[in-house]
Amino acid sequence: MPSHEGLGRARKAWDAYARTVNKVIPPFVVEGLANALTPGAAYVSREIVQNLLGFWLLWHIQGGFEGLQKFGMSRSTIYKKISRFRQAFGMHPDEFDPPGIAIDYEAYWQGQEAFYERCRERKREQGTSRR
């Protein structure tokens, strides 16, 4: 399915390149690097996954690409995050359906309305108490 990234031709070319490179690098090199980098890589990986899952959630509750733009995210940031998401999870955030996670959109938006009303109320209270 065509997306904001087109028909996926660049991704197919990259995957072909990666398969070739993976055939050339000896397994002991990969294993040695993995052992040396594991602690730091684990920390960075957790941070990246947390960030990408947050992006996935925003993607869905804001209604996709255009919703994220209205939310204040730039086009280039959205494209970069989509690309990172695909690298990490192997699919577009719109197609990703993590097991055990369901979004209750109605409850979220009702909660947002209540939250913003409380914020407006606090702001009004602060405005009157400063005078």
Phi/psi at 101 (nearest 5 deg)?
Answer: -120, 125
Let me know whether 43 and 78 are in one domain. Answer: yes
pLDDT in tens, 58-82: 999 999 999 999 999 999 999 999 9
Let me know whether 82 and 28 are in one domain. Answer: yes
Mean pLDDT of the chain: 84
Provide the domain limits for residue 78.
9-98
pLDDT at 131 over 60: no
Q: Report if residue 3 sits inside a domain.
A: no
Share of the chain above pLDDT 70, in %: 82
Let me know whether 94 and 105 are in one domain. Answer: no
* β-bridge mates for residue 116, sequence order: none
pLDDT in tens, 114-128: 888 898 999 888 877
Q: Report if residue 105 sits inside a domain.
A: yes
**Tally of domains within the chain:** 2
Q: Report if residue 2 sits inside a domain.
A: no
Let me know whether 14 and 54 are in one domain. Answer: yes
Phi/psi at 2 (nearest 5 deg)?
Answer: -65, 145
Let me know whether 129 and 79 are in one domain. Answer: no
DSSP string of 6-45? BTSHHHHHHHHHHHHHHHHS-HHHHHHHHHHHHHHHHHHH
Q: Report if residue 40 sits inside a domain.
A: yes
Q: Report if residue 30 sits inside a domain.
A: yes
DSSP string of 69-108? HHHT--HHHHHHHHHHHHHHHSS-TTT---TT----HHHH
